[in-house]
Structure 1
Amino acid sequence: MPSLRSRRLHLFAAVLIVIAMGIGVRYLPLGLPREVVKYAGSVLWGAMVYGLVALVRPAAPVGRLAVAAGLVAVLVELFRLVHTPGLDAFRLTLAGQLLLGRIFSVWNVVAYAAGIGLAAGLDAGTRRLDGRRRMADKLAMPGVAEIDLKPYRATIESRPADLS
Structure 2
Amino acid sequence: MNRLLRDRLFYAGATLVVLIAGLASRVWADRLPAFVASHFGDALWAAMIYCGIRVLTANKTTTIAFAASLLFCAAIEFSQLYKAEWIEAWRGTLPGSLILGHGFLAVDLIRYAAGILIVYTVDRIVCARR
Q: Same fold (TM over 0.5)?
A: yes
RMSD of aligned residue pairs (Cα, Å):
1.7
Alignment partners' CA distance in 2, 1:90 and 1:48: 21
1:39 aligns with 2:48: no
Deviations along 1:82-126, whole A, 9 cap, x unmatched? 111121111122212211100001110100001101111111111
Q: TM-score, normalised by structure 1?
A: 0.73
Unaligned runs of 5+ in 1: 129-133, 138-164
Alignment partners' CA distance in 1, 2:46 and 2:61: 18
Structure 2 match to 1:15: 15
SS of 2:59's partner is coil
Alignment partners' CA distance in 2, 1:18 and 1:49: 9
Q: Provide runs of 4+ in structure 1 moved above 3 Å.
A: none
Alignment partners' CA distance in 2, 1:45 and 1:51: 10
Alignment partners' CA distance in 2, 1:59 and 1:123: 13
Number of equivalenced pairs: 129
Q: TM-score, normalised by structure 2?
A: 0.91
- Maintained 8 Å contact 2:30/2:37: no
1:104 aligns with 2:109: no
Alignment partners' CA distance in 2, 1:119 and 1:89: 32
Unaligned runs of 5+ in 2: none
- Maintained 8 Å contact 1:25/1:37: yes
% same residue: 29
